[in-house]
Amino acid sequence: MRVLHIVALAALTVAVNCRTTTRQQAIAPVSPQITSLTDKDIKRKASVHPAFANAGHQAGVEVWRIKDFNPEPVSQKDYGKFYKGDSYIVLKTTADKKNKLSWDIYYWIGSESTQDESGASAILSVGLDDKFNGAAVQHRETQGYESQQFKALFPSGLQYQSGGYPTAFRHVTTNAGAEKRLIQVKGRRDVRVRQVDPSISSMNKGDCFILDVDHDVYIYVGPNSRNVEKLKAVSVANQIRDQDHAGRARVETIDQYSSDVDVQKFFTALGSGTKDSVPDATAGGDDQSFVTSEEQNVMLTEVSDSSGKLKSTAVSKPYRQDQLKQQEAYILDTITGGVYVWIGKQSTERERSEAMSKAQQLLTAKSYPSWVQVKRIPQGTEPAIFKQYFTTWRDVNMSHTRVI
């Protein structure tokens, strides 16, 4: 009997050990290192990556450089230096008077960065956002076309450095200021706003244009433009000042009454052209045809996994605010005005991640110019340029619906 008892105890011990080993193997953590964009655990690894362990806990700026698909912290003394051959992630954490935190995530793509590196930066940005339960605002930044908000994070300016991993230590070139944004304002009754290439070739005398550069916002009023276009330009310029520059930018109007010195100041800031070299109004095309084309080409797509499978579905026109469900994510492709990813408050991690990924793919698939950006918009933070594509819109605390 004693022998049988010992044998039974041994067998039980082996069984327990086997179950323990099996269970430990089942719950064993996956290595946080990302090996490729096809890594089946890439999204989970991004959300728990050790490089992000203490990210966003206090107000300030944090920077990571992408190396072999993984984020590598950048020393504070090197903040503002960006290698052309690499991609980066920049986190801005802001605290209000009650010490409540909010976050902006920027993923910066160098002009010589590979598609794998830029793709990794986008996916890692989504993973970082998961730490904040999807509450962060994400921004895509490209070399030479950085937003004003991004540049403001680096008071000493941006420095573009030649090379990238593994040969990053080369000659340093300081960015001389290619960072600018030109916005066209065009239409008769339904006036539209869209971002265009920041050069004289994008302009004409029949429309209004807004130039956002450094801490100056210029309104160029074409001599043949309509009053409604001017009114819209003033409204949008003021919103850019208040939303993008925290009210600290200077708005200046350039029109037929401006001095030659002020007019030339505008074209100097633009970086090309003169008053006399602005193309005629005919170069801008017919206003109504422009608006009609915008309405036809703009696409709104719903990204949802509510059926159990991830599906992308085109939303029917005309677009209305109530079509944006807080349980889903959406991609608004405005063709040349930018690509927006709208994130509902109750959307899933899978929906948010897939929407950002698909939006990123649009830039390559449609061969959009480098100044076209992907902007992530959490529900309730919609900018005016986004809201203009919906027939009506009611902001929080508004007593009635406003016709756009």
Cβ atoms within 10 Å of 16's Cβ, excluding its own: 10
The residue among 385, 389, 388, 378 whose CA lies nearest residue 355 is 378
Question: What residues contact 356, with CB distance under 8 A and at least 6 apart?
Answer: 122, 125, 126, 138, 341, 374, 376
For 71, phi then psi, to 5°, come to -80, 135
**What pLDDT does 253 receive?**
97
pLDDT tens digit sequence for 322-336: 999 999 999 999 876
DSSP string, 140-207: EEETT---HHHHHT-TT--EEES-BTTB--S-EEE--S--EEEEEEE-SSS-EEEEE-SSGGG--TTS
Cβ atoms within 10 Å of 277's Cβ, excluding its own: 11
pLDDT interval class at 403 (50, 70, 90): very low
Burial class of residue 122 in the structure, from the number of CB atoms within 10 Å of its CB (0-12 exposed, 13-18 middle, 19+ buried): buried
pLDDT at 2 over 50: no
**What pLDDT does 396 receive?**
60
pLDDT tens digit sequence for 124-161: 888 888 888 888 888 888 888 888 889 999 988 888 88
Cβ atoms within 10 Å of 230's Cβ, excluding its own: 18
Q: Which amino acid is at 104?
A: D
- Cα–Cα distance, 64 to 363 (Å, whole number): 23
pLDDT tens digit sequence for 258-308: 999 999 999 999 988 999 999 999 998 887 777 777 777 889 999 999 998
The structure tokens 């020393």 sit at: 75
Question: What residues contact 402, with CB distance under 8 A and at least 6 apart?
Answer: 392, 393, 394, 395
More confident: 227 or 13: 227
- Cα–Cα distance, 305 to 311 (Å, whole number): 6
- Cα–Cα distance, 295 to 288 (Å, whole number): 11
Q: Which of 65-69, 115-119, 198-202, 268-272 is predicted least confidently?
A: 115-119
CB 269 within 8 A of CB 180: yes
Question: What residues contact 74, with CB distance under 8 A and at least 6 apart?
Answer: 63, 64, 65, 88
**What pLDDT does 38 receive?**
58
- The mean pLDDT of the chain is 80
pTM score: 0.52
CB 35 within 8 A of CB 49: no
- Cα–Cα distance, 329 to 347 (Å, whole number): 6
CA separation, residue 367 to residues 10, 121, 301, 360, 363 (Å) = 67, 19, 19, 11, 6
pLDDT at 18 over 50: no
- Cα–Cα distance, 35 to 68 (Å, whole number): 7
